Structure 1
Amino acid sequence: MLKSVLAALFVAVLGTGAIAQEFQFEAPPLFDNCGDPSLAKARADGVTLGFSPSPPYSSLDPATKEATGLDVELVKAALKWAGVTKFKYEVMPFGQLIPALLADRIDVVAANIHVTPDRLKAVSFTGPAWWYGPAIVVAKGNPAGITSFDTMKGKKVGAIAGSAADEYLRKIGVAVTAFQTDAEEFSAISTGRVDAILEDDVKVIEFMKANASSPIEIVQNVAIPDELIFKYGYGYARYALRKADCSLRSAFTQGLAEVRGNGQASAILKKYGLTNRNMFFFPL
């Protein structure tokens, strides 16, 4: 019976032509300039990872000088697969990471970062690491009446300086109050110094779990503009490298695919309270 039902479905769907599904890509090909010595140098000398403090995704233990967190573990796992085993760390505000990369102070932006038009002018990106979406956060009761991205225009809206949220909000004409750290940003919305913030949903959920009495909430049922996903930065989280370091980037990218393929990435996500929902773009 089951076979006949499946056969009937197969004929119904494919007999008159398969249903076409269109897939969009949110990053361009990134294979240019390979043949450079960056991978060999990284294997011999190690790399310096740069990130901003954002527990549980990245942090530096002041006592041991060892870095921990979801992104740090993913980056190190992928690079170790590629034969890179020595790591140093530089911690700085998010907005300083790309300038530090271009100045050769760091070799990898190891904070999760997204493809945006401005960033593509300066740096290149690994393949996909993990996924999360944007969240609009307001004071409890939503006194500013923010229900969409358009309704943030004319309001005081906070974002991390240099983030995808910052770049997109400015592009659509929102006056952004920029913050250097997560703590400053969450303090501003909790105390009413801004009407809203645009942040990563996973970061907001983590903050709300740790600060249950904080008088904030996520605006529900907000339509996410395609442009925000496919052009301005809320596709996959990736990591950034100098454009010239193609051999390192290619090996790093395959390393990310390998740790996704063998289950290690899934285990790291679960260790930090996330699920396989965060493995895939627009997960069901």
Structure 2
Amino acid sequence: MKQRSYFFILFFTAVAALTLLAMQSLSPVKSQARHHSKTLVAGYTNEPPYAYYDKSGGVQGLFPAALRDMASALGYEKVEWVMMTFEQLLPALLSNRVDVIAAGLVITEQRKPFGCFLSPLALTHAAILTKKDAPISRPVKLHTLRQKTLVTLSGSIEETLAVKHHLGKTIERVPDVQAGVSMVLTDKADVLLLTRPTLEYRKKRLNSVNVFPIQDLQDEALAPALLFSHRLESKLEQAQQAQQRFMKSNQYQKYLTKFGFTRPPFEPSTTECRNRAAS
């Protein structure tokens, strides 16, 4: 009996110790320690040309290029990249797994409480990708998409647009762009709804697809931007100034020209860091 009691005491002591360690790993103390480190941890999703990994395993794209350019100005020696699905990005920022999201994350009112947005790095619009032989009237309007089987990224602004405008007789949600393209090519979906640079990138590599703008949404510009953790709020002004310098570079201009991004209208450097408690 004494041996059994001793066993239970050891067991519950071990459980308590593990629980304490888990709580400490999630505590602000640890996140503060990393905040003062020389490594900036960036979350991204494989969605070229916003962000993607190349054949050598390097992370490329407009947003990684901008973040690398500004990292040293923020006091960081290197950027550590963490790839995840699009819908994992915001939870990763909130849980302190990453310091910044460097992806095609469009500024929305719903996303503002999650962190601190810099001003838009570019502007773009929603578009659709279809098979070349797919029957679809042109110019493409919203009402022509309401009877289509539509696929888009889970958690994306295009998913929000699809729900808002009642698009698709059904909406399929996928974790990444390749899965969406595959659904269209295998006739499991009629159209893939995403931003035009993403779809044009795929079109250049596939002879079997077309990309069309959506006429009704041409006045609704989408504004993707870098989203920093609230923990880095003190660095936002430096980050905004560094981004403005990057946007004057030849490298930035090449991204605009090559992938069809639009330069945002010039305006004074602004950031928005809404208190999470206000959401």
What is the TM-score normalised by the length of structure 1?
A: 0.71
Q: Distance in 2 between matches of 1:219 and 1:68?
A: 26
Q: CA deviation at 1:237?
A: 1.9
Identify the residue that residue 34 of structure 1 maps to in structure 2: none
Query: Aligned pair count?
Result: 232
Map 1:1-284 onto structure 2 (within 5 A): 44-60=37-53, 66-143=58-135, 145=137, 147-174=140-167, 175-212=170-207, 214=208, 216-219=209-212, 222-224=215-217, 226=219, 228-229=220-221, 234=222, 236-267=223-254, 269=256, 273-274=258-259, 278-280=262-264
TM-superposed deviation, 1:86:
2.0
CA-based RMSD of the aligned residues comes to 2.8
Q: Distance in 1 between matches of 2:96 and 2:118?
A: 18
- 2: CA distance between counterparts of 1:131 and 1:100? 25
Normalising by the residue count of structure 2, what TM-score does the alignment of the two structures yield? 0.72
CA distance in 2, matches of 1:60, 1:243: 27
What is the CA distance between 1:250 and its match in structure 2? 2.7
CA contact (8 A) 1:52 1:94 kept: yes
Report what 1:17 is aligned to: none
- Tell me, in whole angstroms, the C-alpha distance in 1 between the residues paired with 2:214 and 2:250: 32
Q: 1:119 to 1:165 in 2, by over 3 A?
A: same
For the Cα contact (< 8 Å) 1:73–1:268, is it kept in 2? no
Measured after TM superposition, the shift of residue 182 of structure 1 is 0.9
Percent same amino acid at aligned positions? 21
Instruction: Note if contact 2:121-2:264 (Cα within 8 Å) is conserved in structure 1.
Output: no
User: In structure 2, what is the Cα distance between the partners aligned to 1:44 and 1:209?
Assistant: 40
Cα distance between partner residues in 1 of 2:41 and 2:213: 39
Q: Name the SS for the 2:141 alignment partner.
A: coil
Deviations 1:142-168 (A, max 9, x none): 425473123322421111111111112
CA distance in 2, matches of 1:254, 1:40: 25
Q: Distance in 2 between matches of 1:220 and 1:180?
A: 23
1:142 and 1:60 mapped to 2: Cα distance? Answer: 31
1:259 Cα deviation after fit = 1.2
- Whole-Å Cα distance in 1 between the matches of residues 194 and 150 of structure 2? 11
CA distance in 1, matches of 2:161, 2:214: 19
Look up the equivalent residue of 1:173 and give its one-letter code. H
Query: Aligned partners of 1:201, 1:192: CA distance in 2, in Å?
Result: 21
Q: Does the 8 Å CA contact 2:201/2:259 hold for their aligned counterparts?
A: no
SS, match of residue 217 in structure 2: coil
Contact 1:128 1:256 (8 Å CA) reproduced: no
| d(CA) in 2 for partners of 1:81, 1:259 | 11
Q: Per the alignment, do residues 176 and 121 of structure 1 end up closer, same or farther by CA in structure 2, a change over 3 Å counting?
A: farther
Q: Which amino acid aligns with 2:228?
A: L
Unaligned runs of 5+ in 1: 1-37
> Is residue 154–residue 173 contact of structure 2 (8 Å, CA) maintained in 1?
yes
Question: What runs of 5+ residues in structure 2 fail to find an aligned partner?
Answer: 1-30, 266-279
